[in-house]
Structure 1
Amino acid sequence: MAGIAAMLLAGILGTAMGLNNTATYLASGVAFVAVSLWVDSRISRHRDAVRRAGTGPEAGSDTGLALDTDSSKREG
């Protein structure tokens, strides 16, 4: 949601600054990607902090990548 808001704001500012449509579209896309990556980073940091603190619904759950999704082929 924040990425879309940044894209809209960049589009409005680009038009107000007199940029052509291509430059405004490019600036909007860059703003969308930058804000989306920033928000994703903040969410990841928060989840890591909660996991390290051992509180909240994510405490103790292993959300890492599984190397082998079918472990039955390794049993007995």
Structure 2
Amino acid sequence: MGKFRGWHIVAGIAAMVLTACLGTAMGLNNTAAFMASCVSFVAVSKGMDSYLARRRRDVDLRPSERNPDPRGAGRGPWEDSAMAVESDNRESDGGA
């Protein structure tokens, strides 16, 4: 089935529940507790998403036995791009 990729959502919901409980315990009305819960959900889920994406990127770029150089033979990531600029193309410069 594959790996579960929604950990940032789970962390956001947990933060939302915790914030709602704390807000109610502090005496906030329902609207204020709900607003604080929504803010905590967005903050935690975005933070976790950023953290997990950074970890995945680091793991993907880490050399391994199967793939010793994941980006190619010493080339930069922009050289495979369709938008790479070729400075040696003299025909586009108008020269012969």
Structure 2-normalised TM-score?
A: 0.56
Match of 1:32 in 2: 41
User: Is 1:20 aligned with 2:29?
Assistant: yes
Match of 2:86 in 1: none
Higher-Rg structure is 2
Deviations 1:8-42 (A, max 9, x none): 00000000000011100000000100110011011
Counterpart of 1:42, as a letter, is Y
Q: CA deviation at 1:51?
A: 1.5
Instruction: Give the fraction of aligned pairs with identical amino acids, expressed as a percent.
Output: 53
| SS of corresponding position for 1:37 | helix
Counterpart of 2:37, as a letter, is S
Tell me how large the CA RMSD over aligned residues is.
2.0
Taking the aligned partners of 1:8 and 1:40, their CA distance within structure 2 comes to 19
Displaced runs of 4+ in structure 1, greater than 2 A? none
The alignment covers a number of residue pairs equal to: 59
Taking the aligned partners of 1:13 and 1:24, their CA distance within structure 2 comes to 8
Structure 1-normalised TM-score?
A: 0.69
Counterpart of 1:2, as a letter, is A
Q: Which residues of 2 match residues 1-76 of structure 1 at below 5 A?
A: 1-55=10-64, 60=70
Q: Is there any run of 5+ residues in structure 1 with no aligned partner, and where? A: 61-66, 68-76
Q: Is there any run of 5+ residues in structure 2 with no aligned partner, and where? A: 1-9, 71-81, 83-96
